[in-house]
Amino acid sequence: MEKSNYKTIVFSALTIILNLLIIRFSFRFLGQDLKSIIGFGKLGSISVFTGRTIFILACLGLAGSIFPLVRRLEKFINLSFFVTAFVAVATLILWAGIDSKFDIVGLLALSLRLSTPIVLGALSGILCERTGVINIAIEGMMLTAACIGFTAALYLGNIWLGLICAVVSGAVMSLLHAFLSVTMITDQIISGTVINILAVGLTGFIRRSFLIRARLSRTAILPIITVPLLAKIPIIGAIIFTNQPIVFMMMGLVALITILLFKTRWGLRTRSIGEHPEAADTVGINVFKMKYQNVMLGGMLAGLAGAWFSLETTGSFDDLMTNGKGFIALAAMIFGKWHPVGAFTGGLIFGFSDALQIIFQIKGIPIPPQFLWMLPYLITMVVLAGVIGKSTPPAADGKPYIKR
Amino acid sequence: MSKDNHMSEEILSLKGVVKSFPGVLANDHIDFSLKKGEIHTLLGENGAGKTTLMNILYGLYTPDEGEIFIDGQKVIIHSPADALSHGIGMVHQHFMLIPNMSVCENIILGNESKKRGLIDEEQATGRIETLSEKYKFSLNPGDMVKDLPIGMQQKVEILKALYREATVLILDEPTAVLTPQESEELFEILRSLKDEGKSIIFISHKLKEVLEISDIITVLRDGKAIGSVRPDQTDEGHLANMMVGREVILKVHKEKMHKGKPVLEVNDLTVFDRRGVSVVNGINFNVHSGEIYGVAGVQGNGQTELVEALTGLLPFVSGEVIIDGAKIEGDNPREVFERGTAHIPEDRHKYGLVLPYPIRDNLVLCSYYHKPFSKRLALNFPVIIEKSSKLLKEFDIKASSILDITETLSGGNQQKTVVARELGREVKLLIAAQPTRGLDVGSIEYIHKKIVETRDAGCAVLLVSSELDEILSLSDTIGVIYKGQIVKTLSSEEATKEQLGLLMAGILEKT
Amino acid sequence: MDVKKIFKLRAGYQDLLIPFLSIITSLVIGAIIIYASGANVYAAYKGLWQGSFGNARTIAETFVSTTPYILTGLAVAFGFRCGLFNIGAEGQLYAGALAAAYIGYAWRGLPHFIHLPIAIIAGIIAGGIWGAIPGYLKAKTGAHEVINTIMMNHIMIRLTDYLVKNPMLDPKASVPRTAYILKSAYLPKIFPGFRLHWGFILAIIAIFLIYYILFKTKVGFEIRTVGLNQDAARYAGMNISKNFVLAMAISGGLAGLAGAGEVLGLNYNLPAAFVSGFGFDAIAIALLAKSNPFAVFPSAMLWAALRNGAGLMQVRAKISIDLVNIIQAFVIMFIAAPNIVRYLYRIRAEREKAGVLLTKGWGQ
Ligand SMILES: Nc1ncnc2c1ncn2[C@@H]1O[C@H](COP(=O)(O)OP(=O)(O)O)[C@@H](O)[C@H]1O
Ligand SMILES: [Mg+2]
């Protein structure tokens, strides 16, 4: 009881301070008649007074964060947190929108696109961890797949074959993870670390031995697909139905894996192994086979995520190009409580923060870019700290299953 | 009963089964055979190899040697899937249920019927309801297993086997978690299954019930099959002798109690478990010096959390605890320790010992930080070595030296290490939770003797055990715990097993 | 006497044999890769050897790299002992480097015997704080330190980039870097004419100190108990949270010292292009050493030799230096899964001893 009160006070204090800072910040614009232009894709745009809007929003945010303190209600912490986060983001958007249109639809479309590898990575994590295998090697699998996919696309001259090779290479790396952690009963975090280090060496080796020396650096990227009719729906059409293939696959996989996990025989068995492998074993389920199968499926998803970097985005491969996204994917998975839809939401938040950072940089907002780059990592830490609420992993997650 | 017409055919037999684990020969050329429609009991003390033998039959362990015959045919059982396909079902000693899933999901797992690619839950629910009605289980397929009391969970386990149409049912120590009355209820179910022609392997180490339910009893000792007897040809003393290999004194020798002032006073204590559920609900009792206060109850009525709260491992939600006249804050094991409390924890591998440590370090696990075991920041090894060598001898821990890794000790010696650490100093209060769980008879006798000695030295003892016999033979005063409250306190002379059983089930009214 | 005792107490002969065979096997795999990519195996490995131990200068250089490897390796090993997986040594090293550089150039007019220790201590404290944060988060919220330390690496690398390019920038420099530290903050060289500096001696001292803390003090006993069995530690009245924070702070402090050493003994400034990589390799070093402080020394030396020799290997055999990373990954793999090595060389398993087990889900 005492503790939660303490938590409420600390949290409210933080959100109150942040809101006050925003109010203080709004004074910069209050004197001047500055206007922000917010665009909504093809629907047009509106313009509002920057200073006043920020001021009013922050006052609402302040009210929202004082509320739980007055009522001493812990359950409103989340509310005040979200309200404050919304106010902060809106402030940034209004600031960026001064005198030059800030397109919300563009922002959301970019967010969805940037969330793709994170969501796929998180799905990969879900498949592994629901069968009780912790996978911190998503990063390494993605990196390997990005490299192999790109190399294959170059050498085979077909980007779709490259995509397939990326997925296969993810599966191969995950086979190693399964072998080490399921058969060899290696600590799963160490096994994952081995793969991450191996991936750095392997991809660097391939890049310097084959790609740079052969002066190969670029390929085409996967084409944009416009879904007939649906793409014409205002706003949604531009955000969801006009995208590259891996983004579509990501959305489809979220739905598919949700159904598979909670409605089918495979899903029930998978979940049972993650919760209690002995119980699964005693009803005749082949625990080892399922673990291998799911870890490898997870590897394929990570491979798809890797292909997003080289084949869907840049058309090239760089050292360490996955840049910690594999770990952010794990945070999204935890945020989403090991549920595909939750992970999708988590991934979107990270994609959103990434998109904000890119747009701000393009708009030349005077925040040092280094701080914007830090944003996703900071959010990850906040998420992990359980600010959004407790998230319990499958009961047997990370525990090796030893059979006599 | 219609014994003779279908009891002659042998449907299953094990021949010359051998299984060894590092350092133990768990099964040593065991022969066992089961006839159709009989209840065949495997009797043996802890560690005799009963579970191992059944795990081999069920395909969980691969035997080193030996053969299995079913209906006269030699079979090889690689996995539980094979066992299930031969119609063998097993209710494990530690339930194989997934707490976070529903009764229905737990039952159909591994045996799911499909409809258009998805699981056909409707059909499954229907079948479960029919079965549940037939055997009067009153289970609701939609309930989460973690919300069910332990007795109900056992029924889910039985239903799991029946759902798969098992003809041979193995029950590994099913009565260990039940009240005497619940055990009776279980026996009724077993008899009706037997009348249907199913064969049952029943495992236990409780002599009375074994005599009551069995058609035939096979006794295991130290991994060997000692022999098989019919209940009408034997009695408790004879069975005990077969089981342990020597004359057993079933009664603990105990002087009359010299009750002193209260050492532990618990007033209106409420404790939540780690999930935040209230499991100890305003409990009240006192334990006096020179008294053994036994807490009797069915597993899961708040005993674990009560002990954890008293020993500082869980915080109090409300209420007060007074040890030796001073109120304690709670949530701080060291505070309790420093008030002269010894704690033999329920789970010695989890709390009691750091298994990879040498015995020496485990013997000073709680006292390393104060003089003379450490000076300022540094540990004082000469003193630690001297003290631990002394304890090793005094408490008769069988090890070559204090540097032996604790993990390599037998269960009995591991528990003696815990006891040595806890009682090897001045104590005013001993809190012993399941102190003999899983131990062999020799170690049990030793630990009982130590507990009685401690009480005779004027210490207050709180004994929590799920073994009613242990409570009855050791305690001076018995408190029955039900749903986190002491529903009745009685002196051990006036208590009977039947009465305790009813109280534990919450049936007799409170006083 | 003590050293022998640990080896008797904690190391069977397989504990030495398996790492040795792991290294050999990994080198063989490396050879296969070299051969497969069409290069000369002999030339490559000869280059690797000469680049690391070929002459007095390369040997001294190997010890120059051994220094941060020892310290970061100890950092990770110390975390392991408390059951914590500190992947953040890299970030903590940066934090130490930043603090030492700042004290080194900004605090003027102090004599050497005051300035140098302050700069070193600042590095240790900065690294310690950066390490303690994930320790605190784990203790209070259960957030897993693996992800948090990785996140904090990314954050620290960005922060360093920002600080070095903005407030700490030396405007006169042609590449972005901080100002040079003052002579009064230099870690002196050990031998004239070689770059090997007193940081190496500090690292050796750290080995003994960490051994002493872990095995001879109350704090060490608590940390090891928490690392092996948290429940028992709590039962014994130890404060788990305190030990998490303390272990991570000490671990971070060691990594911070490594960063300070690089700045004060080698670079004399902190460039924006500072890339160490020591913190990541440290994981492998700690695993190879089985978290034994004394065994960290040879492991660190091996890693330094591989790192230093890789350049000459590339020149001689035209093989990418990344090969070394691959070899290293295999070394850890074999160490972490000794059964593979046992299988390859038909070694029978000893009684399985409890190792570090880190995987404990994601906390809570
Ligand atoms: N998985 C195992 N690993 C090592 N030893 C075991 C294992 N299972 C059982 N044992 C040992 O085998 C012996 C028999 O155990 P068990 O079959 O469980 O006895 P019971 O069920 O009769 O109490 C005991 O000494 C026990 O310690
Ligand atoms: Mg048993």
B439 lines ligand 1 (CB under 6 A): no
B25 touches chain A (CB under 8 A): no
Chain B residue at shortest CA distance from C364 = B274
Nearest CA to ligand 1 atom 6: B21
E strands present in B174-308: 199-204, 216-221, 224-229, 262-272, 278-288, 292-296
Which ligand 1 atom is the nearest neighbour of the CA of B52?
17
Best of B52, B62, B244 for a ligand 1 pocket test (most atoms within 8 Å of beta carbon): B52
Chain C environment of B366 (Cβ under 8 Å): 235-237
Burial of C346 (0-12, 13-18, 19+ CB in 10 A): exposed
- Rg of chain A's alpha carbons, rounded to an integer? 23
Q: State whether C229 and B361 contact (CB < 8 Å).
A: no
B51 lines ligand 1 (CB under 6 A): yes
Q: State whether A330 and C147 contact (CB < 8 Å).
A: yes
Give the pLDDT band (50/70/90) at residue A399. confident
**pLDDT at residue C3 is higher than 50:** no
- DSSP per residue over A39-76, as a string? E-GGG-EEEEEHHHHHHHHHHHHHHHHHHHHHHT-GGG
Chain A environment of B83 (Cβ under 8 Å): 284
**pLDDT at residue A86 is higher than 80:** yes
Report the DSSP pairing between strands B429-433 and B278-288.
Answer: unpaired
B55 lines ligand 1 (CB under 6 A): no
Selection from C300, C331, C323 nearest residue C43 by Cα: C323
More confident residue, B24 or A283: A283
Q: What is the pLDDT of residue A258?
A: 98
How far is it, in rounded angstroms, from Cα B479 to Cα B501? 12
Best of B14, B19, B24 for a ligand 1 pocket test (most atoms within 8 Å of beta carbon): B24
Chain A environment of C323 (Cβ under 8 Å): 201, 205
How far is it, in rounded angstroms, from Cα C349 to Cα A198? 27
Contacts of B463 (CB under 8 A, 6+ apart): B292, B293, B294, B295, B432, B435, B451, B470, B471, B474, B475
Percentage of residues of chain A with pLDDT beyond 70 = 95
Q: Per residue in B188-197, pLDDT tens?
A: 999 999 999 9
Tell me the pTM: 0.90
- The mean pLDDT of A210-217, rounded to a whole number, is 76
Q: State whether B100 and A275 contact (CB < 8 Å).
A: yes
A3 touches chain B (CB under 8 A): no
Nearest CA to ligand 1 atom 2: B21
Q: State whether C232 and B350 contact (CB < 8 Å).
A: yes
Question: The domain A105-384 is classified under which CATH number: 3.40.190, 1.10.287, 1.10.101, 1.10.3470?
Answer: 1.10.3470
How far is it, in rounded angstroms, from Cα A356 to Cα A392? 30
Chain B residue at shortest CA distance from A272 = B98
The structural domains of chain B, ordered by start, are 3-244 (3.40.50.300), 250-340+426-511 (3.40.50.300), 356-424 (no CATH)
Q: What is the pLDDT of residue A158?
A: 92
- Residue at A338: amino acid letter: W
Q: Report how far Cα B422 is from the mean position of its chain's Cα atoms.
A: 22
Give the pLDDT band (50/70/90) at residue A75. low
Chain C environment of B312 (Cβ under 8 Å): 237
β-sheet bridge partners, residue B201: B40, B170
Q: State whether C9 and B374 contact (CB < 8 Å).
A: no
Chain C residue at shortest CA distance from B422 = C236
Give A334 to chain C, closest Cα distance, Å.
8
User: Three-class SS of residue C216?
Assistant: helix
CATH class given for the domain over C3-345 = mainly alpha
Query: Where is average pLDDT lowest: A208-222, B271-285, C206-220, C243-257?
Result: A208-222
Nearest CA to ligand 1 atom 9: B52
Contact call for residues C339 and A179 (beta carbons, < 8 A): no
B27 lines ligand 1 (CB under 6 A): no
Q: Per residue in A218-237, pLDDT tens?
A: 888 999 999 998 988 888 88
Q: Per residue in B387-418, pLDDT tens?
A: 999 999 999 999 999 999 998 898 899 999 99
E strands present in B102-235: 114-115, 118-119, 168-171, 199-204, 216-221, 224-229
How far is it, in rounded angstroms, from Cα C182 to Cα C170? 14
Query: Where is average pLDDT lowest: A60-69, B163-172, C54-63, C316-325?
Result: A60-69
Give the pLDDT band (50/70/90) at residue B52. very high
**pLDDT at residue A194 is higher than 70:** yes
Which ligand 1 atom is the nearest neighbour of the CA of B54?
17
Q: Per residue in B118-161, pLDDT tens?
A: 999 999 999 999 999 999 898 999 999 998 988 899 999 999 99
The pair of structure tokens assigned to B438 is 């899983």
Distance (Å) of CA B438 to CA B46, B123, B363, C318: 6, 41, 21, 64
Q: What is the pLDDT of residue A122?
A: 98
- The rounded mean pLDDT for chain B is 92
Contact call for residues B303 and B481 (beta carbons, < 8 A): yes
Nearest CA to ligand 1 atom 7: B21
Nearest CA to ligand 1 atom 8: B52
| Ligand closest in space to the Cα of B26 | 1
How many of the other CB atoms lie within 10 Å of CB of B376? 8
β-sheet bridge partners, residue B221: B224
Q: State whether B365 and C218 contact (CB < 8 Å).
A: no
- The rounded mean pLDDT for chain A is 89
Closest in A259, A271, A283 to B110, CB measured: A283
Give the pLDDT band (50/70/90) at residue B167. very high
Q: Per residue in B64-119, pLDDT tens?
A: 999 999 999 999 999 999 999 999 999 999 999 999 999 999 999 999 998 888 99
How far is it, in rounded angstroms, from Cα B480 to Cα B296? 5
Q: State whether A205 and C320 contact (CB < 8 Å).
A: yes
B47 lines ligand 1 (CB under 6 A): yes
Distance C262 CA to ligand 2 centre (A): 59
User: Three-class SS of residue C189?
Assistant: strand
Contacts of B58 (CB under 8 A, 6+ apart): A282, B77, B80, B83, B88, B90, B170
Chain B environment of C291 (Cβ under 8 Å): none
Q: State whether B98 and A275 contact (CB < 8 Å).
A: yes
- DSSP per residue over B59-90, as a string? TSS--SEEEEEETTEEE---SHHHHHHTTEEE
B381 lines ligand 1 (CB under 6 A): no
B318 touches chain A (CB under 8 A): no
Give the pLDDT band (50/70/90) at residue B322. very high
Chain C environment of B378 (Cβ under 8 Å): 216-218
Provide the ipTM. 0.89
Q: Per residue in A103-148, pLDDT tens?
A: 999 999 999 999 999 999 999 999 999 999 999 999 999 999 999 9
Q: State whether B99 and A272 contact (CB < 8 Å).
A: no
Q: What is the pLDDT of residue A381?
A: 87
B375 touches chain C (CB under 8 A): no
Distance (Å) of CA B396 to CA B23, B24, B36, B356, B412: 21, 21, 48, 21, 11
Q: Which of C214, C235, C360 to mutate to test the interface with B (most CBs of B within 10 A)?
A: C235
Q: What is the pLDDT of residue B237?
A: 86
Query: Which partners does chain C have (≥3 C-beta pairs < 8 Å)?
Result: A, B
Query: Where is average pLDDT lowest: A56-60, A388-392, B256-260, B468-472?
Result: A388-392
Element (H, E) at A369: helix A369-384
B315 touches chain A (CB under 8 A): no
B24 lines ligand 1 (CB under 6 A): yes
The pair of structure tokens assigned to B143 is 């309930």
Q: Per residue in C45-63, pLDDT tens?
A: 999 999 999 999 999 999 9
Distance B298 CA to ligand 2 centre (A): 19
The residue ranges of every structural domain in chain A are 3-100, 105-384
B368 lines ligand 1 (CB under 6 A): no
The pair of structure tokens assigned to B29 is 């050329």
Q: What is the pLDDT of residue B37?
A: 93
Q: Which of B308, B365, B373, B407 to mutate to test the interface with C (most CBs of C within 10 A)?
A: B365
Give the pLDDT band (50/70/90) at residue C9. very low
Q: Which of A143, A202, A370 to mutate to test the interface with C (most CBs of C within 10 A)?
A: A370
Distance B49 CA to ligand 1 centre (A): 6
Q: Per residue in A374-385, pLDDT tens?
A: 888 888 888 778
Which ligand 1 atom is the nearest neighbour of the CA of B50?
22
Q: Per residue in A338-356, pLDDT tens?
A: 999 999 999 998 899 889 8
Tracing tokens 């008649």 back to the chain, one arrives at A33
- Name the C residues in 187-206 with CB < 8 Å from any A CB: none
Give the pLDDT band (50/70/90) at residue A4. low
- Rg of chain C's alpha carbons, rounded to an integer? 21
B330 touches chain C (CB under 8 A): no
| Ligand closest in space to the Cα of B50 | 1
- The mean pLDDT of B4-19, rounded to a whole number, is 80
Report the DSSP pairing between strands B278-288 and B292-296.
Answer: unpaired
Element (H, E) at B57: helix B50-57
- Residue at A79: amino acid letter: L
**pLDDT at residue B281 is higher than 70:** yes
